[in-house]
Chain A
Amino acid sequence: MDLTFTPEEEAFRDEVRTFLAEKLPSRLSDKIRKGQHLTKAEQEEWHAILNARGWLANHWPVEWGGTGWTVMQRFIFETETALVHAPRVLPFGLSMIGPVLLKYGSEEQKRHWLPRILDGSDWWCQGYSEPGAGSDLASLKTSAVRDGDHYVVNGQKTWTTMAQFANMMFCLVRTSNEGKRQEGISFLLIDMTTPGIEVRPIKLLSGDHEVNEVFFTDVRVPVGNLVGEENRGWTYAKYLLTYERTNIAGVGASMAAFGELQEIARTQRRNGKPLAEDPQFAARLARLEIDLENMKTTNLRVLVAAGAGAAPVAESSMLKIRGTEIRQAIDDLMRRAAGTHARPWIPESFEGGWNGEPVGPEWAGPVSTQYFNDRKLSIFGGSNEVQREIITKAILEL
């Protein structure tokens, strides 16, 4: 039993810290810390900084421009970057389509698309969910019909994160209605500038514009953009469940957010004394901290098992459930800590360059929008109920 990092891992952590101290623009980390939105250019700027160091695709094989890091190195990197409020690496290109192409793409597809993910030529979005296909993804209806050298795509995707910035979409489409529903799905790469595609924003309860509806009307996609074989797309989509979920619990981000919360609890006063000394609040805070400390160790246990070659699918589901619950609990306490100042809504303050006067303490500005926005955590990426189904099948064998 040894819960310490090796000297090599310690050295690696120092290297990451040094890199972040030198290369992470405070312009970006300030915005993250304040809960402000990054522009497309700012997100691309951070990707470019990481790519210049060769650290953008930290889980790809070296031959394709990855780092060849161990799972523990990845965990250290993800934790350290989150602790200093670095922007997250967007998953759509790096962690979703990239791994699918590496595993199932043709040589030509890999050579074409992978470098473009690294150098920022493409911004990918994920075309999975549909109005009638959420947790029951296999019921998706968007169709692709072969017509010569093209597929003709008709239908609608929804909840498409950052489609407003994307020039490419990896998309699950129905190419057959025969047999099992899962066996009629194909995996297509779609250029978002193709005629017949319309992107409409969905305004979220927090006021944010993150997700979109995407409509397809007779959209012609070259057959060369089919990944793998026709009607095998479900297998490729599911592959992601076993891949790169070392950060699924978001431990680093939760540690950073919890640190902020602790600081607030020490400084914010209620009835003449710090919140940290309010018995109700202190108990909530302590329960959360204990759960987070336990989670860290659970996460490390899963990583060590994964490093030894296990594919911890159901354990990842546990991490997803508890990791998102913890993050939501932090948001919940932030909101409670703000008291009446959780109520004002000044959307301009969520954009960079806002110089207005905050109502109440500055940190209180985004707490309620963050709280509402993060309700998504237990819904997306396979809802926490879907994760419980995975645990039921894979661990409990019920």
Chain B
Amino acid sequence: MDFSLGEDRRMLADSLQRFLADKAPFAVRKTAAFEGAGWSRTIWGELAELGAIGALFDESVGGFGGSPFDVAVVFGEIGRALLTGPWLAALQAGHVLAAAGRTDDLAALIDGSRVIGYAEDEADSWFDPAAITTRATASGDGWVLDGAKTVVAFAGSVDRLVVVARAEAGLSTFLVERDAPGLTIRDYLLVDGGSAGDVTFAATPAILVGEAGGAGPVIEESRALGLIALTWEGVAVMDALRDQTLDYLRTRKQFGIPIGKFQALQHRMATVALEIEQARSAAINAADRFAGTRVERERAASAAKATIGKAGSLIAEEAIQMHGGIGMTWELALSHYAKRLVMIGHELGDEDYHLARYIELGHELADAEV
């Protein structure tokens, strides 16, 4: 048994960490995340050169990584630096493209030249692909889409979108150019920085990716990878919040002593530290079970997301509370880490959704055993 990430991944992590500390320190990030589209395409390109996007994909499809633990490393560094950008979309859209053998499109994603978003969630779908209503209709040689997606990450500033839509045959995935006719985007910033958009399609031309009606398994797998990414990002954000809070507890004095000497705070911090280690274990489990059966994979992913959701609220709230008034300020890095951690809870399904899903998958497991 071995819980180290290995030398190659350690080197990748170090190089990403050095680059981000240099190019996107917090003072830069704090402004950049709330200006324009809320991310830097320059940094995106440079990280692509460093291999950060390629690390998300297997060698067989033109990447140089692709293990869930490679995903873990990249998203861990994204979390540590609180980096904004369409990273999660790249992972999910790229996985769909890879599964369909569209290696040219994937190559343009990996080298940074074409940025691809991922549009799945709808206003009424509440994280559940079965409730997707965006319609895909065959039209001549191609397809057209009609419908609407909501909170599509960085929709207004990516080059193309992978869109999940319902064809007559069932759930399918499509590639759509952002400037395609009939596509409109309402852009907005996000609470934790970066941007997203509501995307509407009106007879928008689209290229079918994979088989019509056969996308169910690949979008589920793609989401599982996304959940792994978010849990590792979340744990990195938790680590940062813990370290910043401990620093504060050691230096901030009230009643003549550092506030970290007060047992009321010490014991709560001990709980925070414990919950972070449990969350890290959940993240490890999710990455490890990705190679298992569908139910194993999905249960571990949902378990991890539910864990991160529950622990994330606690840790974000405690970090702000222990900082007192200063924890409420925009100025402090801490408050931005706290916002990110809570908002991770709202991506790809929240705690309650994944707890319910975990239960449902448990019934499937029990039925399979009978």
Contact = CB atoms under 8 A, between A and B. Distances in A.
Interface string A268-298: 0000000011000011011101110111111
* A: interface residue count bin: 35 or more
Contact of A283 (B246, B265, B277, B355): B355
A295 B303 CA distance: 12
B285 A294 contact: yes
Interface in A53-79: 72
A5 B358 CA distance: 26
Interface in B1-54: 1-6
Contacts of A385: 267
B303 A290 contact: yes
Interface residues of B, number: 43
A3 interface: yes
Contacts of B169: none
Contacts of B285: 3, 293-294, 297
Interface in A283-319: 283, 285-287, 289-291, 293-298, 300-301, 303-304, 315, 318
B307 A294 contact: yes
Contacts of B279: 294
A290 B358 contact: yes
Interface string B295-319: 0000010010011001000000000
**Max chain A Cβ within 10 angstroms of own Cβ: one of B4, B250, B284:** B284
Contacts of A295: 278, 281
B139 interface: no
Nearest to B250: A398
Given A290-B358, A304-B3, A391 B270 contact: yes
B226 to A, nearest CB: 19
Interface string B279-292: 11110110110000
A39 B106 CA distance: 68
Given A318-B274, A396-B246, A396-B273, A290 B307 contact: yes
B4 A298 contact: no
A321 B274 contact: yes
A297 B286 CA distance: 11
A3 B1 contact: yes
Contact of A298 (B267, B281, B303, B306): B281
A297 B269 contact: no
Contacts of B194: none
B362 interface: yes
B123 interface: no
B278 A4 contact: no
A132 B84 CA distance: 57
Contacts of B287: 1
A2 interface: yes
B192 to A, nearest CB: 25
Contacts of B250: 397-398
A392 interface: yes
A388 B266 contact: yes
Interface string B321-360: 0000000000000000000000000000000000110110
A293 B273 CA distance: 18
B1 A5 contact: yes
Contacts of A289: 358, 362
A398 B358 contact: no
Contacts of B3: 1, 3, 300-301, 304
B89 interface: no
Contact of B267 (A276, A322, A392): A392
Contacts of A286: 306, 355, 358-359, 362
A1 B260 contact: no
Contact of B266 (A2, A266, A396): A396
**Max chain B Cβ within 10 angstroms of own Cβ: one of A286, A303, A385, A387:** A286
A389 interface: yes
B5 A1 contact: yes
A52 interface: no
B249 interface: yes
Contact of B359 (A282, A297, A298): A282
Nearest to B266: A392
Contacts of B366: 266, 276
A315 B358 CA distance: 28
Given A2-B2, A276-B366, 17 more contacts: A1-B2, A1-B4, A1-B288, A266-B366, A285-B359, A287-B310, A291-B278, A294-B278, A301-B3, A318-B273, A388-B267, A391-B270, A392-B267, A396-B246, A396-B266, A398-B249, A398-B265
Interface of B: 1-6, 69, 246, 249-250, 258, 260-261, 265-267, 269-271, 273-274, 277-282, 284-285, 287-288, 300, 303, 306-307, 310, 355-356, 358-359, 362-363, 366
Nearest first, the 10 A-B pairs at minimum CB distance are A297-B281, A398-B260, A388-B270, A391-B270, A392-B266, A294-B278, A294-B281, A388-B267, A298-B281, A2-B2
